[in-house]
A = this chain, B = another copy of it.
Amino acid sequence: MGNKGEALRQRIIAAADELFYQQGYENTSFSDIADVVNISRGNFYYHFKSKDEILNAVIDARIAGIEAMLDEWDEKFADPLQRLYCYIDMLLRAQEEIRLHGCPIGSLCTELAKTSHAMLSDANKMFTVFRDWLMVQFKLLGVESNVKKMAMHFIARVQGIVTVTNAFEDKEFLQQEVKQLKKWLDDEVVFPKSSNQ
């Protein structure tokens, strides 16, 4: 493939990614994306045969983005606890986007569960990447049992915070919950009083 065509393809994916997050998948039309990228609707179909195909490309791009981000964190922080704090602080860094549009992963899964069940199993892989990374960090911290359950629990806690922050458009709620979540990390994961779960 030529360099120019490949670059345009990436620009389409990036535009679709953002619009799907802000407006939802079904609610975003080809025209919306085409307007952002400044191409015609017709040209669209040279790069993607269907809307499903764009969604697939967006999911793949997001997964690659998450993996790159986690690699960066691993390099930046030697201490697994610092990495986990960095994960929680992601909520603070993205709090305005979360207030307005929720979680890019969670809200997409919620939408796909209602419309196209078939693609849900692709979308939830985004969660799986985070889950597997969390499991590694927990193990490094010395947690030996229920590591997977703990990682899923962690993800659910974050999703709950995001859903409520978004529903009430309330960043203060997010901020206070972040503090509690760090407390949970310190008390239940790093220094558990008894066997967990």
Contacts and interface: CB of A to CB of B under 8 A. Distances in A.
Nearest to A165: B156
A30 interface: no
Contact of A177 (B22, B111, B153, B168): B153
A110 B152 contact: no
Contacts of A102: 110, 113-114
Contacts of A123: 167
A68 B26 CA distance: 34
B101 A113 contact: yes
A169 B114 contact: no
Contacts of A115: 23-24, 27
Contact of A152 (B101, B111, B164): B164
A10 interface: no
A11 interface: no
A155 B160 CA distance: 8
A87 to B, nearest CB: 15
Contacts of A29: none
A159 B163 contact: yes
Nearest to A124: B167
A106 B180 CA distance: 22
A66 B152 CA distance: 29
Nearest to A174: B156
A180 B164 contact: no
Contacts of A107: 110, 113-114
Given A109-B167, A167-B120, A177-B153, A23 B159 contact: no
A155 B107 CA distance: 17
Interface of A: 22-24, 26-27, 100-102, 105-107, 109-111, 113-115, 120, 123-124, 127, 149, 152-153, 155-161, 163-164, 166-169, 173, 176-177, 179-180, 197
